[in-house]
Structure 1
Amino acid sequence: MRSTTDTPAPTSALPADRPGPHSRRLGLVVVVATFGGLLFGYDTGVINGALAPLKEDLGLSSFTEGFVVSILIIGAAFGALAGGYFSDRYGRRHNILVLAIVFVVGTLGCVVAPSWQVLAVFRFILGLAVGGASATVPVYLAEVAPTERRGGIVCRNEVMVVVGQLAAFVVNAVIFNVWGESVDGIWRLMLLVAVLPAIALFVGMLRMPESPRWLVSRGRENDALAVLRQIRSPERAEAEMDEVRRLAAEEEQTKTAGTIDLGVRWIRRLVLIGAGLGIAQQFTGINSIMYYGTQLLADAGFSASSAIIANTFNGVFSVIGMTIGLLLMNKIDRRKMLIAGFVATTTFHLLVGLSARLLPDGDAKSYLILTFVVLFVFSMQATIGPLVWVILSEIFPLKIRSLAIGVSVFALWIANAVVAWAFPPVVQALGIANTFFAFAVLGVGAIWFVARAVPETRGTSLEELEERFSRQYA
């Protein structure tokens, strides 16, 4: 694959999107939609602290423990595929409303589960919602965002993901340390908290508009223009409408629609790049920390109560890193920032491994490993974490955008499931040092992949990107 370092100049100039009442409306749309990211984060992070009391309450073996953790991720993989398909067919807003209901059903089912088998079923259902949200919300945000703010707006969903994970870590630590000894089934209360943002997501999306670009793809141009007038200045709304209408007409002439487009060479190549990005993101091992951080810190020498508290540092620095990534997103080229992120995470993998291998057991070793793990989480969430989702929301053509992102996110979630299932036995068999050395080797491969294959997308409209890729990869 050839390198794609140059960013072509835009083929058309849009009027500046000046502040006004439409800015507040767009801000509200973004806040409400990103509750899907908050749920994504909480539901994937809550198992980190809930696992110990859950394992004791339901009598989980090491095998069923890994199964209960990873079944949500497997559900998320299929949810991403289904979410992409239904989002393309019925609309982004409609899909988010349905997902909010699935979040509520899955959460309540987990809370009342009498056995690990029932818990696994509802964890799978919850995973469908998590995966569907991961495939739908970034696309919705990218399609309602102005070109010059698209990266920052899509990145806000990732900020909400890590805020959700931090909330899960803090809620777990508070509940465990305050009521853990006196309340049976304390893990059920930890899980129940997720019902609140699910209800907020459903109620809020009832008043939000549909994606204007999806409306145009369904021939509803008047509705699309009405939406753009809500979230853009008047002159900007008209100009964007002309651009989207023009591209839609070109797509109609070339019959670009549906799964048949996966056989088109340039689209297939973009999907392979998207899937590769998702796999590379997950093979950093970030979710081994998000799911098993407490257990990892206990293996590094912390006591059980200290480990669950120390694990909150991962959540705090995850949010700080994501916030910094949000501020930098529209100022630095995507590729440069992504490569820098993989270099940083690979470096911290090596430092964790060397600390575990060379230092004698004791407080110094434990705190040094904690420091390098926290710095790994920080660098990951400031760069790779948000950038992969932003790029996935940008590189695919309109009529297949959600389906293509669904395929890419399916690959991401499968890689996530592999890491989630394999991490505990691999650490047990190889130790912390060799496990993180393996992550470092995968990081070197990711750096090569990004440098060779990933295109630059910053500062270019979705329509212009589509035209460019159709020529570049033809």
Structure 2
Amino acid sequence: MSRPIDSTHHAEPTTARHIEEAARQKAVEKTEKRELVGEAEYETKHLDNLRENPNAVLENPLQGISHDRLEAMGRAFAREKDLAEFEELFAKGAQIAQNPLAFESLPLLNEEDREIMREEVQHKWRQPRTLYFVVVCCSMAAAVQGMDESVTNGANLFWAPQFGLNTADGAPNADYNEWILGLVNGAPYLCCAVLGCWLTAPLNNMFGRRGTIFITATISALACIWSGCTNSRWNLFAARFVLGLGIGPKSATVPVFAAETAPPLIRGALVMQWQVWTAFGIMLGTVASLAFYHVGDVPHITGLNWRLMLGSACLPAFFVMAQVFFCPESPRWLIGRGRYRKAFESLCRLRFTKLQAARDLFMINALLEEEANMPTGKAALIELFSVGRNRRAVLASGIVMFMQQFCGINVIAYYSSTIFRKAGFSEITALGATLGFGALNFVMAAPAVFTIDTFGRRNLLLTTFPLMALFLLMTGFAFYIPESSKARIGIIALGIYLHCCAYSPGEGPVPFTYSAEAFPLYVRDVGMSYATAVTWLFNFIVALTFPRLLTAFKPQGAFGWYAAWNVIGTFLVLFFVPETKGLSLEELDQVFSVPTAKHASYHLKGLSYNFRKYILRQKLPARDPLYHWETGY
């Protein structure tokens, strides 16, 4: 669980030799500084950093301990946790855990052990199949959410008129009907915000990560079937509201489950599978809408086509129910319940060797013991806002979750068929164009798999927000083109597709990945409940208001509204969202211990610095680093 060199100030090593050399050089620099300033002054500076960042206690709890002492600690840990038969492995694992990049110099390791460590560094994507099975298969739970978004898009064309919701211009009660249409479409996300997400912590405490995923997948499947059997707008609202009880806790649990099982170097790419499979669900839902579009009514069943559309979203939920208990439980969750042997068995399935599992189990336990000193005895929800480190995670995760909705993507996901019809498409052609949107959303998420852990979460957002603003403005202005012009349809579709291409590798995967890793373990369930509640609340607001917004603002104003929010989002991320790539979940305490004002001020000054250095090409000295570990103290 080594700390990578921050990409803002250092070139990222790419080979085992370079990585180890960088780590060794960093240690030498730290020793030299310690000798230069003297022991007393060094300790004073270190204590000053801790006073400034009172929660930054997890830099490395094993730092400074001798190899002999670490070996003894590893053996004692194995005996204490009923793992005595693995005592030798834990002795080695404890030494490696102190500095995973210094394995070549550890005398306790043999050549076979060292080769295991080399392989881990040189081939970070070479992981056990079980690890990929956990992340990909469990993230299929997201396909329920994505599929619901897009089948609703198609079903709106049929159920609304059947239940008397005529939203055409000039129709009686058109304004009222637009609000009801938005309310029914947003019902699952209203439930997520006010109830569903807040069930995450009690469900996880009682049933674990796997049990929570199974229960919520079951609720989702039954609610989708119920949606296809309704006979009134309010019955449909009730069914979709209950669907939120499945979506809410599942959306908070699955990313955390992935984050707690993945190695730090590829954690972001694996956790983002939640978004990849959400995009897959959106595409699958559009396929279902097209497949059932021409299905006619049968005796005693009116609207069979839209019923099949809504009901088909149960299929990925059944898949999740069938396979989730074949996955190992989260080792961090098991350690939190004192079940160390089960945690070790889980890690053995998630890592190639027992040596890696022993190292990770020992380090996780050491970090969690340090973390256990942080609670003040208050309720977790209170500590979420009363502790500075947690409060900064709340702010950052809230920003990225809020912007996931107000970047405008779900306006298109829910109402693209309506938008394309206003652009001049027929109903079936509008659904075909929506399929293109869904396919792009899925395919363009692929680049983030390779960039989210290298380019970084923050840089992806800062790059894609301005692009999304530009493409939304392009889409809105295209509605000024006369309807008789063929260019009108083409430019509107192009703007929507380009917006999707910018969203999928940025604001698509980052929010859930970021929120799953931002909070310390003792408030992680509540923190993730808060983060997902934020995104679902504003998801509901988007779904509720857009039909009316489209009429009141016209398409030009509606798209301009969300373009402006993308500009605002760029500055919110710049000032208030720190980078989290590559750090262990517990080490992130240091990042979020930097005061908000200091972080914002540093990056505000960085705007001028970067403009002068990279645009004006001025020769400037390197900036002082933001994080104290970069100074060596």
Answer whether contact 1:84 1:135 (CA < 8 A) is retained: no
Aligned runs of 1:40-55 on 2, under 5 Å?
40-55=145-160
Instruction: Judge conservation of contact 1:321–1:382 (CA < 8 Å) in 2.
Output: yes
Question: 1:314, 1:57 → 2: CA distance?
Answer: 27
Is the 8 Å Cα contact of residues 39 and 198 (structure 1) preserved in structure 2? yes
Q: CA RMSD in A?
A: 2.4
Checking the alignment, whether the CA contact within 8 Å between 2:190 and 2:244 is kept in structure 1 is yes
Q: CA deviation at 1:114?
A: 2.2
SS of residue in 2 equivalent to 1:173? helix
Structure 2: how far apart are the matches of 1:398 and 1:254?
11
Q: Is 1:297 matched with 2:420?
A: yes
Deviations 1:263-300 (A, max 9, x none): 21221221122112111121011101000000001011
CA distance in 2, matches of 1:374, 1:20: 31
What TM-score does the superposition give when structure 2 sets the normalisation length? 0.70
2:396 to 263, 273, 280: 273
Q: How far 1:451 moved relative to its partner?
A: 0.4
Report if aligned partners of 1:284, 1:345 keep a CA contact under 8 Å in 2.
yes
- Report deviation, 1:346: 0.8
CA contact (8 A) 1:22 1:229 kept: no
Deviation at 1:64, TM superposition (A): 2.5
Of the candidates 582, 585, 588, which is equivalent to residue 465 of structure 1?
Answer: 588
Structure of higher CA gyration radius: 2
Structure-1 separation of matches of 2:460 and 2:136:
25
Distance 1:404 1:471 in 2: 19
1:65 paired with 2:188, answer: no
Alpha-carbon contact 1:294-1:307 (below 8 Å) kept: yes
Report percent identity of matched pairs.
30
Tell me whether 1:375 sits opposite 2:480 in the alignment.
Answer: no
Residue identity in the other structure for 1:122: A
Distance 1:317-1:180 versus aligned 2 partners, 3 A rule: farther
2:185 aligned counterpart, secondary structure? helix
Where does 1:226-245 land on structure 2 (aligned, <5 Å)? 226-233=345-352, 234-245=354-365
The match for 1:171 is 288
- Structure 2 residue aligned with 1:107: 224
**Equivalent position of 2:381 in the other structure:** 259
> Map of 1:23-422 to 2, 5 A cutoff?
23-60=128-165, 61-77=177-193, 78-88=195-205, 90-176=207-293, 178-180=294-296, 184-185=302-303, 186-233=305-352, 234-255=354-375, 258-262=380-384, 263-357=386-480, 361-422=484-545
Paired residues in the alignment total: 470
Alignment TM-score, normalising by the size of structure 1: 0.93
How far off is 1:252 after superposition? Answer: 2.4
Change (3 A) 1:378 1:19: closer
Given that 1:5 and 1:456 are in contact with CA atoms closer than 8 Å, whether structure 2 keeps it comes out as: no
Deviates more, 1:351-360 or 1:192-201: 351-360
Q: State the shift of 1:181 in Å.
A: 7.4
- Assess if the C-alpha contact under 8 Å between 2:228 and 2:308 holds in 1: yes
Matched with 1:447 is 570
Post-superposition offset of 1:13: 4.0
Native 8 Å contact 2:197 2:530 kept in 1? yes
Structure 1 counterpart of 2:109:
none
Inter-partner Cα distance in structure 2 for 1:466 and 1:411: 22
| CA distances 1:93-139 after superposition (whole Å, capped 9, x unpaired) | 12101101111221121121122211111101112211222111111
Match of 2:455, SS state, is: coil
3-state SS in 1 of match to 2:372: helix
Q: Secondary structure at the match of 2:479?
A: helix
Counterpart-to-counterpart distance in 1, 2:423 and 2:159? 22
Cα distance change on mapping 1:79 and 1:97 into 2, 3 Å: same
Structure showing greater relative contact order (alpha-carbon pairs closer than 8 Å, 6 or more residues apart) = 1
Q: Any stretches of 5+ residues in structure 1 without a counterpart?
A: none
In 2, Cα distance between the equivalents of 1:53 and 1:6?
52
Unpaired segments of 5 or more residues in structure 2?
1-5, 11-22, 24-58, 61-97, 101-116, 166-176, 599-633
Contact 2:268-2:453 within 8 A present in 1 as well: yes
CA contact (8 A) 1:81 1:409 kept: no
Q: Which runs of 4+ in 1 moved over 6 A?
A: 7-10, 18-22
- Alpha-carbon shift at residue 358 of structure 1 (Å): 5.0
Q: In structure 1, how many angstroms separate the alpha carbons of the residues matched to 2:262 and 2:454?
A: 17
Q: 1:220 to 1:466 in 2, by over 3 A?
A: farther
For 2:336 and 2:129, the matched residues in 1 are separated by: 26
Whether the 8 Å contact between 2:578 and 2:591 is mirrored in structure 1 is no
User: Which amino acid in 2 is paired with 1:302?
Assistant: F
SS in 1 for 2:444: helix
- State the secondary structure of the residue aligned to 1:46: helix
| 2:309 aligned counterpart, secondary structure | helix
TM-aligned CA deviation for residue 58 of structure 1: 2.5
Which structure is higher in helix share? Answer: 1
Judge conservation of contact 2:130–2:327 (CA < 8 Å) in 1. no
Question: Taking structure 1 as reference, are residues 188 and 7 closer, same or farther at Cα in structure 2, changes over 3 Å only?
Answer: farther
Structure-1 separation of matches of 2:146 and 2:483: 35
Between the aligned partners of 1:206 and 1:238, the Cα distance in structure 2 is: 24
Whole-Å separation in 2 of the counterparts to 1:114 and 1:64:
15
Letter paired with 2:181: E
Superimposed CA distance per residue, residues 158-214 of structure 1 (whole angstroms, 9 cap, x where no aligned partner) = 1110100100011101210x3257784211111222222212211211222211111
CA contact (8 A) 2:179 2:544 kept: no
Contact map agreement 2:227 2:236 (CA 8 A) in 1: yes
Task: Spell out, residue by residue over 1:34-67, the C-alpha distance to the aligned partner (whole angstroms, 9 max, x if none).
Answer: 1211111112221000111111333334332222
